[in-house]
Amino acid sequence: MKPKILLLHGSGTNASIFGLQSRKLAALLQPHFDLVYLDAPTPCPPGPGVLPFFEGCEPYLTWMDDSGAVPEQAYWEGEAFEKLVGEVRGLMALEEEEGGLVGVVGFSMGAKVGMEVVRRLEADDNIEEGGEKGKTGGGVKVVVAVCGTVPFRGGVASSTTAASEGDEAREKAYRASLDKGRVKAESVHLIGDGDPWRAEGEKLVEFFEDEGRRVIRFRGAHHMPADDAVNRQVVRVILAACKGV
């Protein structure tokens, strides 16, 4: 068995749809890694660009309600997120011959979920190891954030979906989240130049350590990049981060 990479879909899709959306990247990763796609827990309407291409591919699922600071905080503190962290820990605890988890790829909302999972694992491991500097969560070497949104949709002048009356609460929660510390694992941030949520993707970069992060910009909107050269570049970074695994 090969090392594993976890793939987390965006809001309003599901693991099967994301398997098709990520097929170009997946084809390049599969010779080196086993790919694990997980479904989000909560049904919701289809996400941007899902219809009509994936009509009839229900259920459409989301990780959380991030329409405001209060419901998003409830997710981070709730049972669904704890269950996800437990599932990821299970992937990392597999026997060596079965291939443990070494990377996370998240799209849109799945990017901030992946970031928070790895940050949580790193924090837990630091406690277990007595605060060892540079310790990364359970062997996760790299996080790939594609067109990511940022915790609490904060840090930007005007969030795409934020109601004006909720901006202050979002910003306060965003700052508190950022203050929890940066992810130590290496990171790759794919940002589409025409993405309506581009400003949030730029802010998500700040949640990762400076020295281990890379930003790749591509021509496109809120979708997985189709350009072969971009996908090959991402895979090269992943392979370099996982060298020796």
- Using the Cα atoms of residue 149, residue 177, residue 242 and residue 15 in order, give the sign of their dihedral: negative
Question: According to the model, what pLDDT value does residue 135 have?
Answer: 45
Closest CA to 113 of 76, 156, 157: 76
> Using one digit for the tens of pLDDT, what is the confidence trace for 11-51?
999 999 999 999 999 999 999 999 999 999 999 999 988 99
Domain limits for position 188:
4-241
Q: How many domains does the chain have?
A: 1
Token pair recorded at residue 185: 């694992």
Question: According to the model, what pLDDT value does residue 242 have?
Answer: 92
Strand, coil or helix: 99? coil
Give the burial class of 168: count Cβ atoms within 10 A of its Cβ; 0-12 exposed, 13-18 middle, 19 or more buried: exposed
Identity at 218, one-letter amino acid code: F
CATH code, domain carrying 91: 3.40.50.1820
- Phi and psi, residue 244, nearest 5°: 90, -5
- Asked whether 221 and 192 are in contact (CB, 8 A), the reply is yes
Identity at 148, one-letter amino acid code: G
Question: According to the model, what pLDDT value does residue 65 have?
Answer: 97
Token pair recorded at residue 171: 């910003």
Which stretches in the chain have pLDDT values below 50?
131, 133-136, 159-160, 162-163
Identity at 144, one-letter amino acid code: V
Identity at 106, one-letter amino acid code: G
Q: What is the pTM for the complete model shown?
A: 0.92
Alpha-carbon span 174 to 169, nearest angstrom: 9
Cα separation values, 128 from 76, 87, 123, 175, Å: 21, 19, 9, 26
What number of CA atoms fall less than 13 Å from residue 41's CA on the CB side?
13
Strand, coil or helix: 113? helix
Residues 6 or more apart in contact with residue 223 via CB below 8 angstroms: 21, 49, 147, 192
Question: According to the model, what pLDDT value does residue 1 have?
Answer: 81
Alpha-carbon span 127 to 136, nearest angstrom: 12
Alpha-carbon span 2 to 22, nearest angstrom: 19
